[in-house]
Structure 1
Amino acid sequence: MTAKSSERVLVVPAAEFDRLGRFQGFEADAQRYLDALLRPESTSFRPRADVEDDPSLKQIIPYVVLRSQGKVFCYTRGNSQGEARLHSLRSLGVGGHVDEADAEGCCGFEAYDTAMRRELDEEVDIRSRGVLKLAGLINDDSTPVGSVHLGVVHIYELENPFVAPRERGLVDSRFIPIAELAPSRESFETWSRFCIDELLSGR
């Protein structure tokens, strides 16, 4: 069994997501959902291999978009990226699963935040000051990979576009003008398309 398949990741019952109001696409009112979904009594850690094809559970995924001076950081997902179903697609989001080891076995928002920042630090080297803000949620039940994940979108507004990849899976990474995103929209994974449409259009 690989390390990726044996890790234990943070999940919430899809039924709780339904109770709050399931949506398709982007939802700006992230805090209302997270206040309920990230309560310790709502969350648990499960083996990743057991939940990757189980739509009764939603894996919580931090998805950080790096923006600076009218440009946004993007890359192509290489073969070393954990989710094989997304390989070769362009992406705007940096982040990954909330792992039990990263979060020291705790559930709740504090554990999520700690793991999110550690994932960000593992994947990219950011050499600029900036402000990190919660921007919304993404759900995409139209694909097998989307049906078992729930994205938590953050915008990291950097003073300068000084970012380098730390992980080999971030191929052809660079900042591009936001104005160039819409024409190349179809080359991006669906979560990034939602960000392009809802957060970055006209900016």
Structure 2
Amino acid sequence: MSEEHILVIPADLITSLGHLEGFEVDVDRFLVPILASDRLSYRPRAAMETDPSFKQLIPYVVMQWTDPNDGLVRVFTYTRGGGSGESRLHAKRSIGVGGHISQEDADGDEDPYLTGMRRELDEEVTIECDYTDQREGLLYDPSNEVGRVHLGVIHRFTLEQPSVTSNEAELADGEFLTVAELRSQYDALETWSQLCLDALFPENH
């Protein structure tokens, strides 16, 4: 089986557009020129995991539902399992679902980014209700070795029902928790989930 080739962006292309660190709400300032660039390429995944001169583009979907009984927002969360995914994140809690854009995602007529996002979602979860999709921000966290080689595109899915089930053992203990419950588990969350929790659900709201 040949090695997966994934969509990457030269780090200097991002730098040329402006300083990007943490959660950036001005998505289009960076993402529009990135996706339009002729410098995007598909490269072997293993090599890219240790090469910070390229950033892997990762759609990262946060799913929320508002309980009509108490008016509280609840967010889908799970524990990363021990399968074939990113070993450096195992046993961390996450509120984001998503993954790499693969070269195969570019085979059809549609946007490879959207194709890859949908494929990753379909592999990992089943969403059995209507929802709206809002692109909320970009996420770059160079504070650790995982974050240094990834650029996250944060999507907020607002669901009509809490109808999400995990499709993979990788996504263990899938459930909807209130923002307060997630804050109480803050230290157990992976870094991207901490940054998304702070940005998407600020405490003063």
2:46 to 41, 44, 49: 49
The root-mean-square deviation of aligned C-alpha atoms, in Å, is: 1.6
1:27 to 3, 9, 24: 24
Q: Specify the SS of the correspondent of 2:77.
A: strand
1:126/1:105 CA distance change after superposition, 3 Å = closer
Q: Please give the residue correspondences for 1:1-203 in structure 2 after superposition, counting only pairs within 5 Å.
A: 6-69=3-66, 70-104=73-107, 110-202=111-203, 203=205
Q: Specify the SS of the correspondent of 2:36.
A: coil
In the aligned structure 1, how far is the partner of 2:20 from the partner of 2:130? Answer: 34
Unaligned runs of 5+ in 1: none
In the aligned structure 1, how far is the partner of 2:122 from the partner of 2:85? Answer: 16
In the aligned structure 2, how far is the partner of 1:40 from the partner of 1:33? Answer: 11
Aligned-pair CA distance for 1:81? 4.7
Deviations 1:40-91 (A, max 9, x none): 5021000101111000000000000010011000001101151111111010
Deviations 1:126-149 (A, max 9, x none): 011010110101000010110000
> Given the two structures, how large is their TM-score scaled by the length of structure 2?
0.92
Which deviates more, 86-95 or 37-46? Answer: 37-46
In the aligned structure 2, how far is the partner of 1:86 from the partner of 1:59? Answer: 16
Percent identical: 47
Deviations 1:95-147 (A, max 9, x none): 100011133288xx921011101111111010110101101010000101100
| Structure 1: 4+ residue segments shifted above 4 A | none
> Given the two structures, how large is their TM-score scaled by the length of structure 1?
0.93
- May I ask how many residue pairs the two structures share in their alignment? 198
In the aligned structure 2, how far is the partner of 1:173 from the partner of 1:71? Answer: 12
Q: Specify the SS of the correspondent of 2:185.
A: helix
Q: Specify the SS of the correspondent of 2:46.
A: helix
Give yes or no for contact 2:105–2:113 (8 Å, CA) kept in 1: no
Q: Specify the SS of the correspondent of 1:167.
A: coil
Give yes or no for contact 1:36–1:42 (8 Å, CA) kept in 2: no
In the aligned structure 2, how far is the partner of 1:27 from the partner of 1:105? Answer: 30
Give yes or no for contact 1:138–1:152 (8 Å, CA) kept in 2: yes
Q: Specify the SS of the correspondent of 2:135.
A: strand
Aligned-pair CA distance for 1:22? 2.8
